[in-house]
Structure 1
């Protein structure tokens, strides 16, 4: 893909992320329907993986999801808080 197309895609995703639950729904769908589940990948590449290691990877996955999703919620909240009031004085 060229740079202009990536900018269009990134702009569209940014607009959608500002909507109510789009980012949350996207992450849920990513977790449920990812092309190659993490557990299958671990079994294929590391057959002797321990449950603690798998739990670590899942925890890191959710933490990385929160790093992206929580700031979008904060930005949306601050935009509502900072926007001018429509009530006449």
Structure 2
């Protein structure tokens, strides 16, 4: 995961042959959450705009599957 504050986006790179993926964003100071499905046809590099995100610390939880195996990665970023 790479957060690009100046471009207001978060970018993820998935394996070439992932079958299904989604990213869930949760703000530290709130129970608000946003889940974004990721479509394999769009390629392994996915960027999601953070323009509408409120200020604060956000946790991005990326889950994906390759075959019958599921994987998860997470990281924090701050919108100032």
Question: What is the TM-score when the length of structure 2 is the normalising length?
Answer: 0.24
- Structure possessing the higher radius of gyration over alpha carbons: 1
Of Structure 1 and Structure 2, the greater helix share is in: 1
Of Structure 1 and Structure 2, the greater strand share is in: 2
